[in-house]
């Protein structure tokens, strides 16, 4: 079984050419864990599987139990939201994340020390967030040729996003917020390998936009153009070098993990759900 070696602290994997603070871990999960997660988010292979499992009252294995509606189809992309979509005012209804997201993703994320100087205090990237842990995960699916328009993630979240890439790589383009003249070009590019973790926080979270081009292949992937080049897996750098700097996109699934600031515990207001009277 393959294992992974995580860095002793995030300070070792900070992308130092970017403003504070962006971290990249090329191998955050094993191939087996990647397969497990992909099976969890897949729609059922056979649409009949879900009702049959319900009838048998089995504890559903997530791969076959996703109701068809669990994927929301956007114009070009599909999306799943755990534990639930935010209300129009940006609130989350209190509810746990599914166990398959807690383990291995959330627990591993929380176990990563932020810096070498703070292992004793056990500080991690969520220590200063309102709930000291993530409470929300978006799963996005990107076929080759499909990206996401430059945007910022907005004030509903604590300003930190942890992104795990599954099945395929992508290139994240980061733009300055106030670049209005001429054709908008990314200020920085990050290559996100499959099984990697990217953590974006601080000034980059607050002061920039991020997007993914609608491309079937990413080109000009070199040490000079990719900010996290030195943190990539050796095999990925080799692949870029031998292919003239281009990588073909495959279907990619991402999990973006965040802490929603406003959480409402509806059970507290509804006595029949066990709340206060
Ligand atoms: O899929 C990604 O890596 C980025 C997704 C994203 O920017 C978002 O969900 O806000
Ligand atoms: Fe985003």
Handedness of CA 94, 95, 101, 105 (dihedral sign): positive
- Tokens read off for 178: 């106030």
DSSP-derived secondary structure letter, 268: G
Q: Which atom of ligand 1 is nearest to the CA of 165?
A: 3
What's the chain's average pLDDT?
86
Ligand 1 pocket test: which of 82, 158, 190, 256 has the largest number of ligand atoms within 8 Å of its C-beta?
Answer: 256
- Cα–Cα distance for residue pair 218/247, rounded to 1 Å: 5
How remote is the CA of residue 137 from the centroid of ligand 2, in Å?
A: 12
Q: Is 196 a pocket residue for ligand 1 (Cβ < 6 Å)?
A: no
Render pLDDT for 36-85 as a digit per residue (tens, 0 to 9). 999 999 854 433 332 323 333 333 333 333 444 466 666 667 899 999 99
202-225 average pLDDT score? 96
User: Are β-strands 262-264 and 188-192 bridged in parallel, bridged antiparallel, or unpaired?
Assistant: unpaired
Decide: 253 and 41 in contact? Cβ < 8 Å: yes
* Helices (H) then strands (E): counts for the chain: 7, 15
Coil, strand or helix at 80: strand
Polymer length in residues for the chain: 277
Q: Is 200 a pocket residue for ligand 1 (Cβ < 6 Å)?
A: no
Render pLDDT for 16-37 as a digit per residue (tens, 0 to 9). 999 999 999 999 999 999 999 9
Q: Is 256 a pocket residue for ligand 1 (Cβ < 6 Å)?
A: yes
| Cβ-based burial of 267 (10 A; exposed 0-12, middle 13-18, buried ≥19) | middle
Residue ranges covered by each domain of the chain: 10-273
How remote is the CA of residue 163 from the centroid of ligand 2, in Å?
A: 10
Q: Please give the residue that has the higher pLDDT: either 152 or 178.
A: 152
Closest to 186 measured CA to CA, from 74, 8, 18: 18
- Tokens read off for 157: 């979240």
User: Are β-strands 78-82 and 136-142 bridged in parallel, bridged antiparallel, or unpaired?
Assistant: antiparallel
Q: Is 198 a pocket residue for ligand 1 (Cβ < 6 Å)?
A: no
As beta bridge partners, residue 254 has 140, 165
- pLDDT at position 270, please? 65
Percent of the chain as helix, strand, coil, to the nearest 5: 25, 25, 50
CATH code for the structural domain at 10-273: 2.60.120.590
| pLDDT greater than 60 at residue 126 | yes
């Amino acid at each position: 079984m393959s294992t992974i070696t995580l860095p002793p602290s995030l300070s070792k994997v900070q992308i130092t050419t970017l403003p504070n603070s962006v971290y990249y871990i090329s191998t955050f999960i094993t191939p087996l864990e990647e397969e497990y997660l992909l099976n969890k988010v897949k729609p059922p292979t056979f649409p009949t599987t879900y009702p049959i499992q319900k009838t048998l009252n089995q504890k559903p294995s997530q791969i076959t139990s996703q109701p068809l509606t669990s994927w929301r189809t956007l114009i070009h992309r599909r999306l799943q939201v755990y534990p639930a979509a935010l209300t129009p005012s940006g609130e989350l209804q209190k509810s746990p994340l599914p166990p398959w997201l807690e383990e291995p993703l959330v627990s591993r994320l929380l176990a990563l020390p932020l810096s070498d100087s703070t292992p004793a205090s056990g500080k991690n990237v969520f220590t200063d967030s309102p709930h000291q842990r993530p409470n929300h995960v978006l799963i996005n699916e990107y076929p080759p040729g499909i990206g996401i328009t430059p945007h910022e993630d907005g004030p509903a979240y604590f300003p930190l996003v942890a992104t795990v890439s599954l099945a395929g790589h992508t290139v994240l383009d980061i733009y300055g917020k106030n670049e209005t003249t001429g054709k908008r070009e990314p200020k920085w590019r990050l290559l996100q390998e499959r099984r990697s973790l990217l953590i974006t926080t601080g000034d980059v979270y607050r002061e920039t936009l991020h997007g993914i081009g609608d491309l079937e292949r990413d080109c000009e992937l070199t040490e000079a153009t990719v900010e996290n080049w030195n943190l990539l897996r050796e095999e990925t750098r080799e692949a870029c070098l031998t292919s003239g700097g281009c990588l073909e996109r495959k279907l990619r699934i991402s999990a973006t993990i965040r802490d929603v600031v406003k959480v409402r515990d509806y059970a507290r207001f509804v006595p029949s759900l066990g709340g206060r009277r």
